[in-house]
Amino acid sequence: MTRKQRRLYFVLLGMLALGAATALVLTAINDTLVYFYSPTDIKAKHVGTDRRLRVGGLVEQGSVVKQGEIVRFVVTDLTTTLPVTFKGVLPDLFREGQGVVAEGKMDGAGTFQASEVLAKHDEKYMPKEVTEALKQSGRWQEEEGKK
């Protein structure tokens, strides 16, 4: 084998490794890597009470109940719902119908005890008047499903 051939061989080997690396990563992505779970995932997995995890979804319309410092609301992914309790100050962006990520644990009664609630805002930016005009003309579409 001449040096030129050997170099070509090395380059091909390197390309092969890179190709295989890409293939592996793509397979992994297809295996769905998720970080926070939807209420459906949680129902399906029967998560234990000792594990901290994150739940993401939308705050269900009309579900927010405030009792002093304690807030109760329901997170939905439009198929399954999960009741959440949280004690603390909510972010200003926390609204019904908006995306939310809660971190905490499940309790024995099937309620999610959040120790932290983060609002997830969408990529829409517009003045109030415009959204109202859109709503009146019926072209306004509420956020559907979770992000």
Would you tell me which residues interact with another protein (CB under 8 A)?
A: 3, 7, 10, 13-15, 17-18, 20-25, 27-29, 31-33, 35-36, 45, 50-52, 89-95, 98, 101, 116-131, 147
DSSP β-bridge partners for residue 104: 53, 114
The C-alpha atoms of residue 34 and residue 9 are separated, in whole angstroms, by: 39
* Smallest distance from another protein to CB 83, Å: 20
Residue carrying the six token digits 């609002």: 119
Distance of CA 67 to the CA centre of its chain: 27
Nearer to another protein, 59 or 118 (CB): 118
Least separation in angstroms between CB 23 and another protein: 8
Q: Give the helix ranges, DSSP H, for 31-114.
A: 39-45
Q: Which two tokens stand for residue 40?
A: 């459906």
- Write down the least CB distance from residue 49 to another protein, Å: 11
Choose between 18 and 70: whose C-beta lies nearer to another protein.
18
* Structure token digits, residue 113: 């005890």
Residue 80 Cβ, how far from another protein at the closest point, in Å?
18
Q: Is the CB of 65 or the CB of 93 nearer to another protein?
A: 93
Q: What phi, psi does 105 have (nearest 5°)?
A: -130, 160
Alpha-carbon gap, residue 15 to 21, rounded angstroms? 10
Which is closer to another protein, CB of 84 or CB of 117?
117
